[in-house]
Amino acid sequence: MLKFDEKGLIPVIVQDYKDSVVLMLAYMNEESYKKTLETKEMWYWSRSRKELWHKGDTSGHIQKVKELFYDCDADTLLAKVEQVGNIACHTGNRSCFFNKII
């Protein structure tokens, strides 16, 4: 059903389930997708480290899945999460989107 790209990945937009703030954009492969469904916590594929990544393993800032959607083309996911610790970005910010252009 889901359409993973030629590298076996699908982008995931991650949003706070309470206030809809976009927290981050990450990627999943089929294994991380299945682990997310199984554990109800977000798992990703780290493109830089080339390994599975359980969000919050080192920081403690896990993401508990509240809702998971796919788009009309089935090639992008939207995860609505409870962000434990209110920090999603590796910089310590709540969201990865803090660099304002306009």
Annotated binding-site members for Mg(2+): 71, 73, 75
Token pair recorded at residue 19: 């206030």
Local structure of 48: helix, strand or coil: coil
Distance CA 96, CA 102 (A): 16
Residues that constitute the known binding site for Zn(2+): 72, 89, 96
Q: What is the C-alpha separation between 28 and 12, in angstroms, rounded?
A: 7
Buried-state track 13-45, b at ≥16 Cβ within 10 A, e below 16: bbbbbeeeeebbebbbbeebbebbeeeebbbbb
Residues in the annotated binding site: 71-73, 75, 89, 96
